[in-house]
Amino acid sequence: MNAANPLDSFRLDRRRAIITGAASGIGKAIANAFANAGAQVILLDLNAEKAAEAAVEIGPRAAGIGCDVSSEASVAAAFERIAADGPPDILVNSAGIAHVGTIETTSPDDLDRLFSVNVRGTYLCMKAAIAHMKPRQSGVILNLASIAATSGLPDRFAYSMTKGAVLAMTLSVARDFLSSKIRCNCISPARIHTPFVDGFVQKNYPGREAEMFATLARSQPIGRMGTIDEVALLALYLCSDASSFVTGADYPLDGGFFNLR
C-alpha cells in the first residue's frame, strides 16, 4: 500500500463492480458498501424489478439488471450489456439458494436446483468476468461460500456440497490466473441475520420466533448472528487495494464457530 493515507486503499473510485443476488440481503449490503467507497455498482438479480429498486435506494452510482445466473444466455447478455459501458473490475458472486435436508431427504431435483444457482451460477459469472479481466491483466473476484463448505452441519447435505464446490472453484481460479493479475478469494460466513433467516423462522416456527432466534444466536460462540454489514465490510477489504497481497484465501466470518465450539 503506497497511499498517503492507508485508509485510501479501501476506496473503490473509478472501479466497476458487479454483484449478483444483490436485490436484498448480503448482496445488497455489499453493493451499498462498494458504492459508498466510490465504485459504480451493477446489481444483478433474478428479479429485475427488485434489482432496479435496490439500485435506486443505493443511489446514482448503482444500476440494477435482471439476470438468471444459472442461464448461460442470461449471464452472457447481462455481461455484454455491462461491458458496453466499460469492463468490470470486480465481481462478487453473492447469489445463492439454501436447502434443508440430509442425503435421504434430498431429491435429485433438489440437488440440481441448488447446483444450478450456487455452482453453475458462480462458474458462469466468473467465466464471463474473466473474459473481460484477463485482457486488461487486472481484476478481483470474490465468492460467497459458507462454513458449510468445511464443517459438517446437520441437515445441509446439498447446500454443503454446493458451497464446498464454490470454495474449490475459488482456489482453482486463484491459481490459474495468478499470471493475469486476477485475485480470487471467498468469504465463508456462519449464520448471518438476513431476510431469508426471518422468513425461515416465521414459516417453520410460528409463535416460537423469539425462542428460535435465541437458539440460532447461541450456535455461534460469540453469542449472536452476524450482520450483513459485517459481511459487506470484509467484502470491501477483499475487493480493494488494501488486500492486494491476498489471493486464494477463504475467510471465515463465523463468530468463532469453526475454532471455538
Catalytic residues: 159
**Cell 440430509, residue located:** 102
Which grid cell sits at 237? 477489504
Which grid cell sits at 179? 499470471
Q: Which residues pair with 183 in a beta bridge?
A: 140
Burial environment of residue 144 by CB neighbours within 10 A (0 to 12, 13 to 18, 19 or more): buried
Q: How far apart are CA 176 and CA 146, in angstroms?
A: 22
Other C-beta atoms within 10 Å of 24: how many?
18
Other C-beta atoms within 10 Å of 110: how many?
16
Phi, psi of 196 (to 5 degrees): -60, -45
Which grid cell sits at 27? 448482496
Classify 2 as helix, strand or coil: coil
Contact by Cβ (8 Å): 158, 221: no
Q: How far apart are CA 248 and CA 228, in angstroms?
A: 23
**Cell 478469494, residue located:** 185
Q: How many CA atoms lie within 13 A of 102 on its CB side?
A: 2
